Amino acid sequence: MEKEEVLMKAAEFLHSIESDPQPDSTLCVELQALWWVKKGDWERAHDLAQDAGSMEGDWIHAYLHRVEGDLGNASYWYSRAGKPVCRQELSTEWQNIMVEVLDK
């Protein structure tokens, strides 16, 4: 996917978080998990990420455990996702995950 297209999708996704009461049902489960965590519903985001059954879902799962401060559990999920343990700001990691999921 071209960079412009990803940026447009990201803008639409972020607008949805700001304006909609729930995510679009056509979004993949990984994007729904990211949507819910940005809305402040960690539990719903966690359930979706845990059930995603994908490497992106595992990455989101790792991120969520990092959000809650459970670094040991986060480390396990980073490993499952094939990602190094993240040391970036949480907001930066969330954006990186969003872009990667939108680009698939």
At 24-52, the pLDDT tens digits run 999 999 999 999 999 999 999 999 999 99
Q: Could you tell me if residue 18 is inside a domain?
A: no
Which candidate, 46, 14, 17, places its Cα nearest to that of 33? 46
In a domain, 20, yes or no: no
Structural domain includes residue 53? yes
**Residues in the chain, pLDDT under 50:** none
Q: Residue 69: left if φ>0, alpha if ψ -120 to 50, beta else—which one?
A: left
Is 19 contained in some domain? Answer: no
- Whether 74 is covered by a domain: the verdict is yes
- What is the extent of the structural domain holding 73? 3-12+25-102
16, 59, 70 from 74: Cα distances, Å: 27, 9, 6
> What pLDDT is attached to residue 2?
87
d(CA 58, CA 65): 11
**Domain count of the fold of the chain:** 1
pTM: 0.94
User: What is residue 33's predicted lDDT score, i.e. its pLDDT?
Assistant: 98
In a domain, 17, yes or no: no
Task: Compute the distance between CA of residue 12 and CA of residue 30 in angstroms, rounded to an integer.
Answer: 16
